[in-house]
Chains A and B, each alone.
Chain A
Amino acid sequence: MVKNMEKIGQFERKIAEEEKIEPKDWMPDKYRSSLIRQISQHAHSEVVGQLPEGNWITRAPTLRRKATLLAKVQDEAGHGLYLYSAAETLNTSREEMWDALLDGSAKYASIFNYPTPTWADVGAIGWLVDGAAIVNQISLCRTSFGPYARAMERICREESFHQRQGFEIMQTLAKGSEEQREMAQDALNRWWWPTLMMFGPHDAHSMHSQQSMKWKIKRQSNDELRQQFIDQTVEQADHIGLTIPDEKLKWNEERGHYDFGEIDWGEFERVLMGHGPCNQSRLQARQKAHEKGAWVREALSVYTAKEKRGDFKIMEREAVNE
């Protein structure tokens, strides 16, 4: 009991003094499970996040755009891998995480349940969705769990071109023909509100937030991060002559921030509960990809077993003898 109190004390001191918690350090069970939940959800979001954009790789309008989009989607796959590895240091297995994603019990960012019917959607995703992700991820570089923080730093470095390429697409369309400009505006209209929902419920209604803030898993609140994103994005939209679809959006001199309209939390709940426009097809796409990859995993499994038995060494020796 005394020993336990000592451990808790040590853990809390580390948190208070901004020391990182490392995998082999003692930590409260709840800290561990919160992190597993958050990091695996984050990993799933990176992986599922490839789908809406992946949809456009073969149809990108130029070779330059195609190479860029391919590199971006490839990066997202990498981000998923970094994060799964970080979660595994907490003694969960990749199978557990995958199973939870594939059977629909795990959550991933709801934003990826919206469709990408036009090329402008690829621009809007890079600009807005990656933009929002970056705001969140920069904040998470200071998270208290070492492997998560280091994964975030690496991811942030890689993300910077993601948002810029998206903005460039929107800028090009906004300067193009009337039809192209309309396409860009339409994409902004559809992505704006779901992007704001990415930051999660208002602080007062956020289930996990308080404890996560106390343990410094999260460093800034949902509302704070959302405000930061809005403030920086308004100017960008102005710059390319697009209009953010919010009549209440207005600079508030006193607050030093933009005021904005209320988010449709009913829609947020519906998509979260699985009733968004693409929830089913996203999950099916992941399940199909997993099934299609079965032969690779099987081959690897047989190969590993053979190598552990030493079969290949015997074959080598036989080859030499011949």
Chain B
Amino acid sequence: MNNDELDLWEVFLRSARGIEHKHVGSLHAANAEHAMESARDVYTRRQEGISIWVVRSKEIHASQSEDSEMLFDPAEDKIYRHPTFYDVSEKLKL
């Protein structure tokens, strides 16, 4: 067979309860079940995770770096969204 027939999947692991899933790598698989089994073998040999997410790479849409300005710059001058913007006494534990 040709590996091209198999979709590429991205693998995400949650390392502990309460922590987000984090991208760890990718693999080829026929379907979700197969991707899950391969992810377990390839990425969790040392109990790195308590939960696995697999998603077809083609389902992921990534922003392009040339769009970064448009996407992210508008937040740059909105410093009033951060707590440090406000002038209140440290002692007040606000």
| A interface, CB within 8 angstroms of B | 22, 24-25, 71, 74-75, 78, 81-82, 85-86, 88-89, 93-95, 150-151, 154, 158, 297-298, 300-301, 303-305, 307
Docked-complex contact B4 and A93, CB < 8 angstroms: yes
A82, B65: Cα distance in complex, Å? 25
Docked-complex contact B5 and A301, CB < 8 angstroms: yes
Docked-complex contact A88 and B4, CB < 8 angstroms: no
In the complex, which of the residues B6, B45, B64 contacts A304, with contact meaning CB atoms closer than 8 Å? B6
The number of chain B residues with a CB under 8 A from chain A is 21
Quick check: is B42 within 8 A (CB to CB) of the other chain? yes
A305, B4: Cα distance in complex, Å? 12
Q: Which residues of A contact B46 (CB under 8 A)?
A: 158
In the assembled complex, how far is the CB of residue B40 from the closest CB belonging to chain A, in whole angstroms? 12
In the complex, which of the residues A85, A158, A301 contacts B26, with contact meaning CB atoms closer than 8 Å? A85
Q: Which residues of B contact A71 (CB under 8 A)?
A: 45
Docked-complex contact A74 and B45, CB < 8 angstroms: yes
In the assembled complex, how far is the CB of residue B8 from the closest CB belonging to chain A, in whole angstroms? 7
Docked-complex contact A95 and B27, CB < 8 angstroms: no
Quick check: is B21 within 8 A (CB to CB) of the other chain? no
Docked-complex contact A151 and B25, CB < 8 angstroms: yes
19 examples of A-B residue contacts, CB within 8 angstroms: A22-B65, A24-B65, A25-B65, A71-B45, A78-B45, A81-B42, A85-B27, A89-B26, A93-B3, A94-B3, A95-B3, A154-B25, A300-B30, A301-B1, A301-B2, A304-B1, A304-B30, A304-B31, A307-B30
Query: Given known contacts A78-B42, A88-B8, is B1 in contact with A297 (CB within 8 Å)?
Result: yes
Closest B residue to A312 by CB, please name it: B31
| B interface, CB within 8 angstroms of A | 1-6, 8, 24-28, 30-31, 34, 42, 45-46, 62, 64-65
Docked-complex contact B45 and A75, CB < 8 angstroms: yes
Interface centre among A25, A85, A150, A307 (most CB of B within 10 A): A85
Q: Which residues of B contact A151 (CB under 8 A)?
A: 25
Q: Which residues of A contact B42 (CB under 8 A)?
A: 78, 81-82
Docked-complex contact B24 and A154, CB < 8 angstroms: yes
A305, B28: Cα distance in complex, Å? 15
A158, B25: Cα distance in complex, Å? 15
In the complex, which of the residues B1, B8, B25 contacts A298, with contact meaning CB atoms closer than 8 Å? B1
Q: Which residues of B contact A78 (CB under 8 A)?
A: 42, 45
Q: Which residues of A contact B62 (CB under 8 A)?
A: 24
Closest B residue to A85 by CB, please name it: B26
Q: Which residues of A contact B24 (CB under 8 A)?
A: 154
